[in-house]
Amino acid sequence: MGGASLLRLVSAALLALAAGMVAESAVPPPPLPVLPIPNAAQLAWQRREVIMFFHFGMNTFTDSEWGTGAEPPSLFAPAALNASQWMDAAEAAGASLAILVAKHHDGFCLWPSAYTAHSVRASPWRGDLVRDFTDAARARGVDPGLYLSPWDRHDARYGRETEYNEYYLAQLRELLAGYGSVSEIWFDGAKGKNETNMTYHFQEWFQTVRQLQGAINIFSDAGPDVRWVGDEQGSAGTTCWSTVNRSSITIGAEGIEKYINEGDPRGTDWVPPECDVSIRPGWFWHRNETAKPLSQLLRIYYNSVGRNCVLLLNAPPNTTGLVEDADIARLREFRAAVTRIFGTDLAKGSAARASSERGAGFGAGNVLDGSDDTYWAAATAEEDGLKNGYWIELRLRPAASAARPFNVVRIQEHVALGQRVERHEVYVDGVAVATGTTVGHKRLHRLARPVAGRTVKVWFAARRGVPLVSAVGLHLDPYATDVM
Ligand SMILES: *[C@@H]1O[C@H](CO)[C@@H](O)[C@H](O)[C@H]1NC(C)=O
Ligand SMILES: *[C@@H]1O[C@H](CO)[C@@H](O)[C@H](O)[C@H]1NC(C)=O
Ligand SMILES: *[C@@H]1O[C@H](CO)[C@@H](O)[C@H](O)[C@H]1NC(C)=O
Ligand SMILES: *[C@@H]1O[C@H](CO)[C@@H](O)[C@H](O)[C@H]1NC(C)=O
Ligand SMILES: *[C@@H]1O[C@H](CO)[C@@H](O)[C@H](O)[C@H]1NC(C)=O
Ligand SMILES: *[C@@H]1O[C@H](CO)[C@@H](O)[C@H](O)[C@H]1NC(C)=O
């Protein structure tokens, strides 16, 4: 028997032994979730991170933000409306979902609704923008969403509770039964302070939406699926929970802003926040306005996506019916900057270790594999946490550490099993560089200046249950000259 075949025999025996051992020590199951947890549609929505809004309608032609409802349909006359060109903007921003304002407060409908004469049907344009928009979106791989303003300053039924709610529901049915699958429906609680009193039948509306679109996300101040963040500047609280008590939020009420901006660590409903903000000063196009500078859009990104939110960016088409080239260029610049910052992870290739590990499949190294589905899980035993605390440490590659400073720390929780982290601290070679409260789907710390070191340690000082961390990343943001 030659040396080579002996070696083969021995290795075969070792393999058999190893296989036997694996069979006996099967991998541990995932830990129990900490309730509440997201449903499938909410999880998919969260991972979109940036989505688009298109405000276009009567206001575009009257140079206003809130129409009165008295505008004649003849004013709606875009010379070269092209919804497909709007998708150039969505694509430039890297958005996978785009929401159209199908009707704003002035009541003018951008589809030929059977229930009113106040629509595109009576305009010189005569098309169906909801059809054009949903077709154009799908053709570009973008999921469509719609906004139907509850407040209607045109319709005479507004203020007559049953009649108007029936009218509104009939229009919801037109939108959600007639244009294929719709991924998000947007409701706001806007109402003129000194205008006709009107009680909106949100429960009837929400249940009708569910009946017509099973996988849709319903947005309002209080969800049920996605909540307003409480401002129109694109800024979530530095503490931002995906959880709230829906029963504590009255849609459209004043004084709810702080609660929905920060969420509720004891909240029993999973209703993560969405940050709506326009790339221009107004929601609608005005000749005298231009897009915000890149630095401001990046700050918005850090304050929204970087605080556990989805960013809903509005790009208003002009009176021609096109998004201005300059706005599309700004969106492209924005996406290029995000890619430049986050396309390179300086933590890649590090060695990860942690205070404890749950076992095979839940190792510390999972935070470096670029997947939201794998995660480091600490051991569940309480005594383990009491003894060691909960932390994860990256030992950077020697070549990377000295040469490549970073000024952004990215931390992500595996929120499919609940949002857990209440307080955390980040240390570079033992020196604290960032502290924060919640993490959620994604937390970005933009440091005051670039740092370099051999180890980066994230300490989870307070949490609900054991932390489940899907990513720790380190990035260099070359645009960070005016850090928050
Ligand atoms: C509409 O926009 C799309 C995308 O930019 C473009 O390919 C198409 O040629 C435009 N259609 C017209 C009629 O200009
Ligand atoms: C509110 O409405 C009343 C009655 O219609 C009117 O007299 C008053 O001027 C309005 N106030 C404002 C601030 O618009
Ligand atoms: C509006 O109507 C609701 C329900 O009928 C009522 O409870 C509320 O007090 C009214 N608000 C005003 C300002 O009149
Ligand atoms: C939310 O509900 C939970 C459970 O009932 C409760 O403990 C918590 O105090 C509530 N939050 C607020 C702000 O009321
Ligand atoms: C631009 O014009 C609109 C309408 O005339 C006005 O409401 C808005 O404040 C103006 N925007 C700026 C930035 O001056
Ligand atoms: C609207 O934007 C398009 C694309 O930049 C441009 O060609 C057109 O002139 C603009 N229309 C107005 C009224 O500014």
Residue finishing a domain among 342, 362, 384 = 342
Which CATH number characterizes residue 151's domain? 3.20.20.80
Number of folded domains in the chain? 2
Whether 367 is covered by a domain: the verdict is yes
In a domain, 289, yes or no: yes
Under DSSP, is residue 423 helix (H, G, I), strand (E, B) or coil? strand
Ligand 4, CB cutoff 6 Å, lining residues: 245, 248, 264, 266-268
Tokens of residue 463, six digits: 């949490």
Sheet holding 376-377, edge to edge: 376-377, 468-475, 406-413, 443-451
Q: If phi over 0 gives left and psi between -120 and 50 gives alpha, with beta otherwise, what is residue 255?
A: left
Q: How far is the CA of 126 from the centre of ligand 6 (A)?
A: 21
Number of H helices, E strands in the chain: 12, 19
Atom of ligand 4 nearest to the CA of 244: 1
pLDDT value at position 382?
A: 75
Same structural domain, 255 and 145 = yes
Same domain, yes or no, for 137 and 230?
yes
Looking at ligand 4, which residue's alpha carbon is closest to its atom 9?
Answer: 266
Q: Which of 84, 87, 323, 331 to mutate to test the pocket of ligand 1 (most atoms within 8 A of CB)?
A: 84
User: Which ligand 3 atom sits nearest the alpha carbon of residue 197?
Assistant: 1
Same domain, residue pair 191 and 141: yes
Pocket of ligand 6 (CB under 6 A): 318-320, 322, 324-325
For atom 4 of ligand 3, the residue with the nearest CA is: 199
Per-residue model confidence as pLDDT tens for the chain (484 residues)? 444 555 555 555 555 555 555 556 688 999 999 999 999 999 999 999 999 999 999 999 999 999 999 999 999 999 999 999 999 999 999 999 999 999 999 999 999 999 999 999 999 999 999 999 999 999 999 999 999 999 999 999 999 999 999 999 999 999 999 999 999 999 998 888 778 889 999 999 999 999 999 999 999 999 999 999 999 999 999 999 999 999 999 999 999 999 999 999 999 999 999 999 999 999 999 999 999 999 999 999 999 999 999 999 999 999 999 999 999 999 999 999 999 999 999 999 999 999 999 999 999 999 999 999 999 999 987 777 777 789 999 999 875 445 689 999 999 999 999 999 999 999 999 999 999 999 999 999 999 999 999 999 999 999 999 999 999 999 999 998 644 4
Place of tokens 């449903």: 39
Q: Does one domain contain both 246 and 360? A: no
What pTM, to 2 d.p., does this model score?
0.93
34 inside domain: no
Domain extent, residue 289, equals 40-342
Q: Cα-flanking dihedrals φ and ψ of residue 246, to 5°?
A: -60, -35
Q: Which ligand is nearest to the CA of 248?
A: 4
| 336 within 8 A of 298, measured Cβ to Cβ | no
Let me know whether 306 and 358 are in one domain.
no
Asked whether residue 157 is domain-assigned, the answer is yes
Residue 301 lies in a domain: yes
At a CB cut-off of 8 Å and minimum separation 6, what does 193 contact?
none
From the CA of 287, give the closest atom in ligand 6.
14
Do the domain assignments include residue 355? Answer: yes
Query: In whole angstroms, how far apart are CA 118 and each of 150, 153, 290, 458?
Result: 15, 11, 30, 57
Determine the residue of 264, 269, 271, 464 to mutate for testing ligand 4's pocket, defined as the one with the most ligand atoms within 8 A of the Cβ atom: 264
409 with 303, same domain: the answer is no
Q: How much is the pLDDT for 11?
A: 58
Quick one: pLDDT at residue 13?
Answer: 52
Q: Which atom of ligand 6 is nearest to the CA of 321?
A: 1
138 and 246 fall within a common domain: yes
323 CA distance to ligand 1 middle (Å): 12
- Residue that has been written with the tokens 């060695």 in this structure: 351
Domain stops at, among 305, 323, 342 = 342
How many Cβ atoms sit within 10 Å of the Cβ of residue 19? 10
Nearest CA residue ID for atom 8, ligand 3: 197
- SS3 assignment, position 363: coil
Residues with CB under 6 A from ligand 1: 82, 84-85, 88
**CATH code at 369?**
2.60.120.260
> Is there a single domain that holds both residue 295 and residue 217?
yes
Q: Whole-angstrom Cα distance, residue 206 to residue 126?
A: 30
Strand 406-413 and strand 468-475: the pairing is antiparallel
Domain boundary among 320, 342, 364: 342
Q: Are 281 and 382 in the same domain? A: no
> Which two three-digit tokens encode residue 459?
């300490």
Lookup: tokens for 340: 């430049």
Whether 335 and 364 map to the same domain: the answer is no
**Is residue 35 in a domain?**
no
Q: Are residues 417 and 312 in the same domain?
A: no
β-strand partners of 352: 394
> Is the link from the previous residue into 224 a cis peptide, with omega within 30 of 0?
yes
Judged by its nearest atom, the ligand closest to the C-alpha of residue 321 is 6
Report in angstroms the alpha-carbon separations of 414 from 10, 28, 43, 344, 461: 42, 17, 10, 21, 17
Residues 270 and 157 placed together within one structural domain of the fold:
yes
Residue with tokens 């409908």: 109
Residue 20 lies in a domain: no
Residue 291's identity, in one-letter code, is: A
